[in-house]
């Protein structure tokens, strides 16, 4: 077992609402208010991570085991790119919703939605 196989505990993230680190996944349109709240939550999460002495452990753990949420100061999309660049295999599957499609968190493969054709 590697030291990064266990999630860190006791960081400054403990005790805050889960949705700050794991925004609800919703497809389609979200309101301007919800988008503003997500941006604020993401910034709060990143700022909290920056002050944490377990930040690197948290990041390394998430690169191996956690496809979703903000970990170690990085979003799920940022970490998916890190995984691919560093050749790290994710131990579980994760399909991330991105604008215009989805991304496989383990491989970085992007699948774009095809535009719907109107019936003529």
Nearest of 87, 15, 6 to residue 54 by alpha carbon? 6
- The number of distinct structural domains making up the chain is 1
Nearest of 22, 27, 24, 19 to residue 99 by alpha carbon? 27
Under the banding of pLDDT at 50, 70 and 90, the label for residue 118 is: low
Host domain of residue 52: 3-112
Under the banding of pLDDT at 50, 70 and 90, the label for residue 111 is: confident
Under the banding of pLDDT at 50, 70 and 90, the label for residue 41 is: very high
pLDDT surpasses 60 at 72: yes
**3-state class (DSSP) for residue 62:** helix
In a domain, 15, yes or no: yes
- Least-confidence region, from 63-72, 83-92, 111-120: 111-120
Q: How far apart are CA 17 and CA 63, in angstroms?
A: 22
In a domain, 10, yes or no: yes
The DSSP bridge partners found for residue 105 are none
**What percentage of the chain carries pLDDT values higher than 70?**
87
Q: Between 99 and 83, whose confidence is greater?
A: 83
In a domain, 118, yes or no: no
Burial (0-12, 13-18, 19+ Cβ within 10 Å), 44: middle
In a domain, 120, yes or no: no
In a domain, 117, yes or no: no
């Amino acid at each position: 077992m590697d030291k990064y196989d266990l999630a860190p505990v006791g960081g400054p993230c403990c005790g805050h609402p889960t949705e700050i680190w794991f925004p609800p996944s919703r497809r389609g349109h979200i309101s301007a208010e919800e988008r503003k709240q997500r941006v604020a939550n993401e910034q709060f999460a990143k700022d909290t991570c920056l002050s944490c002495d377990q930040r690197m452990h948290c990041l390394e753990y998430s690169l191996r085991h956690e496809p979703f949420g903000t970990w170690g100061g990085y979003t799920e999309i940022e970490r998916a790119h890190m995984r691919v660049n560093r050749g790290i295999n994710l131990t579980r599957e994760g399909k991330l919703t991105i604008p215009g499609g989805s991304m496989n968190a383990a491989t970085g493969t992007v699948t774009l939605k095809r535009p719907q054709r109107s019936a003529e």
